[in-house]
Amino acid sequence: IINVSSAGQAPFDFDNVQLRHSWSGGQAYCQAKLGQIMLTMDLAEALAGTGVTVNALHPASYMPTKIVTHLFTPQSTLAEGVANILIMVVAPELAEETGRYVNRAKVATADSQAYDPAARAETIQRQLRDPHRTGDEAQCAFVDAKDAPTVSPNGVYGRCADHGIEARAIAA
């Protein structure tokens, strides 16, 4: 499994995850990409020993996609990005790598929160909350052991019996 990610990553401020105090589209994008890398790490742990590898890849910077060409000057080609994805698929030196962040074709270091089990657990708990609920329901944190989010080869699942909130992300 290759999650196409980004070198653009920003740590989560768990007191302002939704950026309600200071909205920034760039910050939101970078937090989302870090969240994706964090989920990659958790899924790699859940699939350990199955023969399935899970990695996050930053294929290239500012490829000429629709979103980039409207906002930035392209710095890489689509061919470069595709080539780095193919390297992840066929390179023998990466065949056994799992739970890694790869920048282009090299194993690299992601933001430190990606390697912090407590930060990853907090991120999953917050992702499983329903952002459209209000009051007590929005504050549901799946804190009881019976309601704790779980990561398995089938995906991530969380449920809060108190508020009837259920969420799951299915592994493809």
Q: Locate 4 and state its tokens.
A: 């196409």
What is the distance between the alpha carbons of residues 57 and 102, in angstroms, rounded to a whole number?
Answer: 5
pTM: 0.73
pLDDT value of residue 144: 38
What is the distance between the alpha carbons of residues 28 and 71, in angstroms, rounded to a whole number?
Answer: 16
Length of the chain as a residue count: 172
pLDDT value of residue 161: 55
Q: What residues in the chain have per-residue pLDDT under 70?
A: 127-172
CA nearest to 165, candidates 147, 153, 152: 147
pLDDT value of residue 136: 45
pLDDT value of residue 135: 46
Strands 100-103 and 150-152: unpaired
The predicted-structure confidence for 37-64, as pLDDT tens digits, reads as follows: 999 999 999 999 999 999 999 999 999 8
